[in-house]
Amino acid sequence: MLDHLIVGGQLIDGTGLPARPADIGVRDGTIVAVAEAGTITADAANTIDATGLVVCPGFVDPHVHYDAQLFWDPYATPSNVHGVTSMIAGNCGFSLAPIKPEDADYTRRMMAKVEGMPLQALESGVRWDWHTFGDYLDRLEGNVAINVGFLVGHCAIRRYVMGEAAVGNEATSEQLDGMVHLLRESIAAGALGLSTTLSRTHSDGDGQPVASRWANRDELVALCTEVGAHDGTTLEGIVDGCLEYFSDDDIDLLTEMSAAANRPINWNVLTVDSKRPDQPWHQLDAGTKAAARGGKIVALTMPVLVPMNMSFRNYCALNMLPGWGDVLNLPLDERMTKLRDQQVRAEMLRRSCGDDVGVFARLTDFGNYVIGDTYSKANEGLKWKVVADIAAERGDGNPFDTLLDIVLEDDLRTVLWPRPTDNDDASWSLRQQVWADDRAMLGGSDAGAHLDRMCGSTYTTRFLADTIRGRKLVPIERAIHMMTEQPAELFGLHNRGVVREGFVADLVVFDPETVNSEQATLVEDLPGGTARLTAGAQGITHVLVNGIETVRDNAATGTLAGRILRSGTDTDTVLP
């Protein structure tokens, strides 16, 4: 007796091979039969008629930040309804374990600042009652709807061993020994490896560089060497050059880390813009240089545009424009006073046009901003209008002044949507070339982070829709391969990512005529009444996780069928 029999569908098995008619039998969480349509004769407790539908492996999201959200939302919404069946968390050097009780407040404030998780949600939605990495994994085991593996964050390890001295200091030899021992213990408990960050954009709740940014090269290499002593492990790392262009030192460091561990290292996120046509190839060349020295560097890149809103009230990328933090980090009343000052405005505008703006230049075309939600009578009727058009209607000479006048009327609460500058045909053609490069891989959704600013978790269904009915830049078989077998192989996920007999029954059934994502909307459903952007799915008729149906007709069934993916048990060793 089969648990599930899926009949009549077009199978796209994840390998990149052409679609073919096939039936699939599932028993005890495993795919036990993949056969020509109509040839499986066994009885089944549940038969899914997939006529006119596509059957494929569950999608693997290689870069999420659901580390806290899973405690109040074990379904990992909205990733679950968009066909994600496995994901990797603990990225960018940030994990919630190991942790000492006295460091919980620091960690909450850091995560609120650096990953945009509302502090109220972290305080009221998570019990913070674990100590070791194994304790943390045990809290989640059996209480998740999606398979999830966790890297241990360098910042957590450093804080645990060094305490407050983790910020502002290099480690002593004794402290480094303690970090290596703690990493070893965490991996033995199931951590998939190590994540770290050296990015200048990553600061803690006190505005200081996060702990891992104070590590020297010897520390990083020692930790990576320990990762390599364990089966089924991997690395994720961010260096400053990830934002724009790698320096030779960036490439040397990533290469040395990968070679020391004898493991791949992935980084997030490779942006593609035709205005900088050389940038993707410069970044990807790091992979070629690493391969020549026994390492492997893999860039994550997104196949869709993910709009990210801005605000002059809450911390966001605008704070990172040169000189702007001096104003935007002030208390609210002082900030508003400064923003009314014409001299301050002129200096902010001047600094936003300087040569040192770098990757944030895409945020400085202020006339190209779209007004989102507004909160004052003076701003009624402005929603979805473009700032340049409002400035023209008002006779304002400078759209930046118009923008600041609008947000000040709302006490800076106005939601702002910069229109993408990289939505041209040339940029999409360049992305198509990048996707064909084996030094890159799809990913970088950041799902679970920047909750009220962006919603990248829907990239799977949006990419399918674009592949089938939109730009059609890659065949559907290739698109599914890039979201299933390819990431599963990078992380060594054991028997996942392909529809094959003997593999785990992580499966998605979708309607190619309708598959897509709904428009992202802001909802106040987080603990503490805080808000996030979320979006439902379209055309996802069934999702099976470990052979159990978790989604039916774009909605969760309420079944917690996911597993915590542990190194060596659920992962195989992948060498560079």
Q: What one-character-per-residue DSSP string does 140-164 give?
A: HTTS-SSEEEEPEEHHHHHHHHHGG
**pLDDT tens for each residue of 40-72:** 999 999 999 999 999 999 999 999 999 999 999
Each residue's pLDDT tens digit, 254-305: 999 999 999 999 999 999 999 999 999 999 999 999 999 999 999 999 999 9
Distance (Å, whole) CA 213 – CA 169? 10
The residue type found at 179 is M
Please give the Cα distance from 570 to 495 (Å, whole number). 9
Rounded CA-CA distance 91/151 in Å is 6
Query: Considering only CA atoms, which of 384, 403, 376, 396 is closest in space to residue 311?
Result: 403
Long-range own/partner contacts, residues 382-389 (CB < 8 A, 24 or more apart): 382/406, 386/419
Q: Which CATH superfamily is domain 59-307+422-495+514-537 in?
A: Metal-dependent hydrolases (3.20.20.140)
Write out pLDDT tens, residues 543-552.
999 999 999 9
Q: What is the pLDDT of residues 220-248, one digit of tens each?
A: 999 999 999 999 999 999 999 998 999 99
What are residue 46's DSSP bridge partners? 4
Region 483-495: what's the mean pLDDT?
A: 98
Angle formed at CA 1 by CA 496 and CA 551, multiple of 5 degrees = 50
Contacts of 123 (CB under 8 A, 6+ apart): 108, 528
Helix, strand, coil content of the chain in percent (nearest 5): 35, 20, 45
2-57+539-556, superfamily in CATH?
A: Urease, subunit C, domain 1 (2.30.40.10)
**353: which DSSP letter?**
T
Q: Which helix (H) or strand (E) holds 344?
A: helix 342-352
Residue whose tokens read 């990797």 = 88
Residue 208 has pLDDT above 90, yes or no: yes
At residue 358, the pLDDT reads 83
- Per the DSSP assignment, residues forming a β-bridge with 542 are 509, 552
Mean pLDDT of the chain: 97
Predicted local distance difference test score (pLDDT) of residue 209? 98
Closest C-alpha to 256, from 283, 292, 230: 292
Confidence at residue 201, expressed as pLDDT on a 0 to 100 scale: 93
Q: Where are the beta strands (DSSP E) in 227-331?
A: 234-238, 265-268, 297-301
pTM above 0.85, yes or no: yes
Task: Give CA separation, 112 vs 32, 116, 127, in Å.
Answer: 45, 5, 16
- The string of pLDDT tens digits covering residues 326-339 is 999 999 999 999 99
Predicted local distance difference test score (pLDDT) of residue 397: 84
Contact 9, 53 (CB under 8 A): yes
Contact between 352 and 403 (Cβ < 8 Å): no
Rounded to whole angstroms, how far apart are CA atoms 432 and 98? 40
- Is 537 within 8 Å of 522 (Cβ atoms)? no
Is the predicted pLDDT of residue 396 greater than 90, yes or no? no
Q: pLDDT tens digits for 107-126? A: 999 999 999 999 999 999 99
The closest alpha carbon to 295, from 360, 358, 250, belongs to 250
The domain locations on the chain are: 2-57+539-556, 59-307+422-495+514-537, 317-418
Q: Which two tokens mark 186? A: 């965490």
The H or E element that residue 401 is part of is helix 399-409
Closest residue by Cα to residue 204 from 301, 338, 109 = 109
Common-topology check for domains 2-57+539-556 and 59-307+422-495+514-537: no
3-state secondary structure 530-554: CCEEECCEECEEEEEECCEEEEECC
What phi and psi values does residue 443 have, to the nearest 5 degrees? 155, -175
User: Does the structure show a pLDDT above 90 at 449?
Assistant: yes
What is the rounded CA–CA span in Å between residue 483 and residue 523?
Answer: 28
What does the block give as tokens for 520?
Answer: 């992202």
